[in-house]
Amino acid sequence: MARSRESVKTQPVKAADACYIKLKEESIEESAKQIGDSDIIVEATGISSITFRAMSFFGTNGILVLTGVLPGSKKLEACSYCLNPKMVLGSQAVFGTVDASKSDLEAVVQDFGQFEAKSPNLLSCMTTKQTVLRPVQKVFFGRP
């Protein structure tokens, strides 16, 4: 979900033959009726009310990816009792991501190194699988 169909963020959606919702033209609820439960929802507006409404429309083993961030401190009340059982029993996940520069990624590696030095082997206990990212280009773009 994003505000504009012509956003750079819409290009991968179109390439994946996925559904794109322009919130100025249709509501999440209207789209969900047509699409049904979604496996993956990428929320790109950063509007918390939209985020919580989107949580109602992803299915079992579904993932909600948050990529948009708006500044501010507007509060939103949510029914945690409504969300918790659906998310836990449905094995659903919500996570946020942001584009990062090379220097940001290098800083993360340095931070992990400091964490490992303070708490040896703790990171390896939390890591279930490591994957090399090189195959990603082949999977998504059909080239090595």
Query: Per residue in 89-104, pLDDT tens?
Result: 989 888 888 777 778 8
Query: Per residue in 3-29, pLDDT tens?
Result: 555 667 677 777 777 777 777 777 878
Q: Which fold has domain 1-99?
A: Rossmann fold (3.40.50)
Contact between 40 and 69 under an 8 Å Cβ cutoff? The reply is no
Could you give the CA distance from residue 52 to residue 38 in angstroms, rounded to a whole number? 15
The first and second tokens of residue 79, run together, are 């029914």
User: Which part of the chain has CATH 3.40.50.720?
Assistant: 1-99
Contact between 53 and 29 under an 8 Å Cβ cutoff? The reply is yes
Quickly list H helices, 3-47. Answer: 10-15, 28-35
